[in-house]
Amino acid sequence: MAVRECDVLIIGAGPAGLAAALYASRAKLSTVVLDKGTPGGQVRTTWSMENYPGFARGMTGPELMDRFVDHAKEFGAEIVRGDVATVSFGGELKIVTTQKGEEYRARAVIVAPGAEPRTLGLPGERELRGKGVSYCATCDADFFEELDVVVIGNGDAAVEEAMYLTKFVNSATMIVVHDEGILDATAIIRDRAFKNPKMKWAWNSVVEEIRGDGIVESVVIKNIKTNERTELEANGVFVFVGTVPKTDFLKGHVDMDKRGYVIANELMETSADGVYCAGDARVKYLRQVITAAADGAIAAVAAEKYIHEEEGFREMVLDRENPVMVAFWSPTSQVSLDFLPAVERIAEQRAGKLNLVKIDIYKNQRVAGRYGITEAPTMAFFRKGQLVEKVCWPTNESELASVADKVIGG
């Protein structure tokens, strides 16, 4: 089995993964991007990118992603093809294996596998995707100015997207499987839609086929009560039946919501130390190229900080021959500030036998959390890489000195 090591392994080469690769490699971290297909993600299916800042008209999705790829490679990122089979995030080195048996070991991992629109598998849907078939009103609405479109779906997201489309289109016809007047959308959204003069409705109906010669020209609609089929002319079809995050390989390794989206904080940190999530696969408000790229940048910077913190903690604490007293303190805690001189005296009196390391608990929450330290001041004593004693809020200098001598003598 081939084994490779790197500082940062990025899973997914969409805009999030490629932006992360750019930032990580530019920070002089050895960076590998693993993707099972052609780099670019969903953006490769987008005919034109008009809402990515700085490009206005004339930039296609594939062209933009090619620039992302070139930019990341310019700073040394390596993009390799591989389909993830298993992951193991519990150790100091995170291990990812591919379907072909290749093994990658990284100090930090950024998962950016993306999400994909839930498709219906209709005849013509795949062939006309990006040629009138769309899954994103925010991305593509302005291509359909003064034209007629069909919207499939009737939940909150579908109705809201349809109303957004009416800012541009001549009409938006929603194909609804329910009886007239019944939508899966909430009442307030439903009422707004019914008042919108550009909204049209096809009740008790489903779309059976999307037709067109190179571009969408019509849809075939079936009435589920009468089985009558009609052909409705349309210039575009918008499908809003949800998205599916590509996160199956992460189940049981990081926290996810019930839909399978990864839960990550504003630093893109997941529930696993040293593992970050960026882009459409995480729980977030807006899924666009610009937000994916922003996620990737944040994740890479956070991963760099994590790697350096872990490296520093290992050098200063875990790999030391002598016992180490780690003072977890906070500049916002007056008790911490008042007690630090005593801590320094204890260390000075035991020079050569006890090392002192001071850590700001709020700037290093991951390290503190790993050892169950939640308040400052807390003194943690390590011997040969292991936590052996912990003293929270020492009552006085002599109490702490006694613990220090016990650790040294142990």
The number of beta carbons lying within 10 Å of the beta carbon of residue 89 is 19
Task: List C-alpha distances in Å: 371 to 244, 355, 374.
Answer: 36, 19, 9
Polymer length in residues for the chain: 410
377 φ, ψ (degrees, to nearest 5): -85, 145
The answer to whether the bond into 377 is cis (omega within 30° of 0) is: yes
Which residue in the list 140, 273, 280, 295 is annotated as catalytic? 140
Nearest residue to 77 via CA among 121, 129, 161, 13: 13
- Alpha carbon 323 to its chain centroid, in Å, reads 39
What the block records as the tokens of 269 is 């940190």
E strands along 182-287, which residues? Answer: 199-202, 205-211, 218-223, 229-233, 236-239, 243-245, 275-277
- Please, are residues 218 and 231 in contact by the beta-carbon 8 Å criterion? yes
**Is 136 one of the catalytic residues?**
yes
Non-local CB neighbours of 353 within 8 Å, separated by 6+ positions:
322, 323, 408
DSSP string covering 6-36: EEEEEE--SHHHHHHHHHHHHTT--EEEEES
**Is 277 one of the catalytic residues?**
no
Q: Could you tell me where the DSSP H helices lie in 149-288?
A: 156-165, 187-195
**Is 140 one of the catalytic residues?**
yes
Q: Compute and round to an integer the Cα radius of gyration of the chain.
A: 28
The number of beta carbons lying within 10 Å of the beta carbon of residue 356 is 19
Which residue in the list 66, 136, 148, 156 is annotated as catalytic? 136
The dihedral region occupied by 393, where left means phi > 0, alpha psi between -120 and 50, and beta the remainder, is: left
- What kind and span of H or E run contains 293? helix 289-313
What the block records as the tokens of 306 is 């994590």
What counts of helices (H) and strands (E) characterise the chain? 9, 21
Apex 27 CA angle, 23 and 29, nearest 5: 100
Q: Rounded to whole angstroms, how far apart are CA atoms 75 and 130?
A: 32
Which residue in the list 6, 139, 277, 280 is annotated as catalytic? 139
- Alpha carbon 134 to its chain centroid, in Å, reads 23
Nearest residue to 113 via CA among 282, 298, 240: 282
Catalytic residue numbers, as ranges: 136, 139-140
